[in-house]
């Protein structure tokens, strides 16, 4: 069995409330995370909610990194979905955990696109 | 325990290869899915790969809907992440499964942002 993608789901609690409400900071954070894991950003969309909270997605050549923040709960839901052997999603996860100063977090990793083809471990999307 | 978000992960196999490589079709599909589940699109990013495949994200006021396609394997990985009681992510999932003509699929649903606050079932992000 081979997987087309690795999908890390981060539950980040007890984060810095200030940065969770700072769209520019979070955009920079996701871009830095993409670079650190070896990914290439091909598009993005960030949105600040009233009165607080940010949703952001970095569309990367290797899939996507998303963040949704609830500053009122010091919580952020982050997804790092990558494919290809040249990308290290755990590096992106590490950067985001550090930048958000998450004092309490969990990470679950799923394998997406399980296919019976030995070539797909090299597939990049 | 209350959850800030519902996250549906769709593994779509044996899809229509043609539509998996059609960026405009997939953009319309995600927009229709957002409308059908009661969500509001606040941004988007779609990208077509060479020689084939599309990555797309609709940033919605209630979180996001993403798709990554591998036409060569008739496969798509779709995520529907929503929050708030007024949105029905299962409706978005139904639309996407139908539009992609997936003959073989699975859906896993996760609850994101489990917090001890009875008010959060109404939180919208």
Task: Report the distance separating Cα A29 and Cα A33, nearest Å.
Answer: 6
Confidence label for B120 from pLDDT (cuts 50, 70 and 90) = low
Q: Is the pLDDT of residue B53 over 80?
A: yes
pTM higher than the cut 0.80: yes
pLDDT at B116: 80
> Is the ipTM above a cut-off of 0.95?
no
Tokens coding A109: 């990793």
Cα separation of B85 and A38, whole Å?
37
Residues of A with CB under 8 A from a CB of B: 4-5, 7, 9, 11, 42-47, 49, 53, 55-57, 59-61, 63-64, 66, 68-70, 73, 75, 77, 79, 81, 83, 110, 112-115, 117, 120, 123, 125
For the segment B5-37, what is each residue's pLDDT rounded down to a tens digit? 999 999 999 999 999 999 999 999 999 999 999
């Amino acid at each position: 069995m081979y997987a087309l993608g690795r999908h890390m789901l981060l539950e980040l609690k007890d984060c810095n409330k200030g940065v969770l409400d700072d769209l520019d900071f979070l955009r920079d954070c996701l871009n830095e995370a993409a670079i650190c894991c070896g990914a290439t950003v091909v598009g993005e969309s960030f949105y600040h909610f009233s009165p607080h909270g940010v949703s952001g997605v970095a569309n990367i050549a290797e899939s996507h990194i998303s963040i949704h923040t609830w500053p009122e709960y010091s919580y952020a839901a982050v997804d790092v979905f990558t494919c290809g052997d040249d990308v290290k999603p755990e590096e992106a996860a590490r950067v985001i955990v550090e930048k958000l100063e998450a004092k309490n977090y969990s990470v679950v990793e799923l394998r997406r696109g399980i296919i019976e083809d030995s070539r797909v471990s090299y597939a990049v999307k």
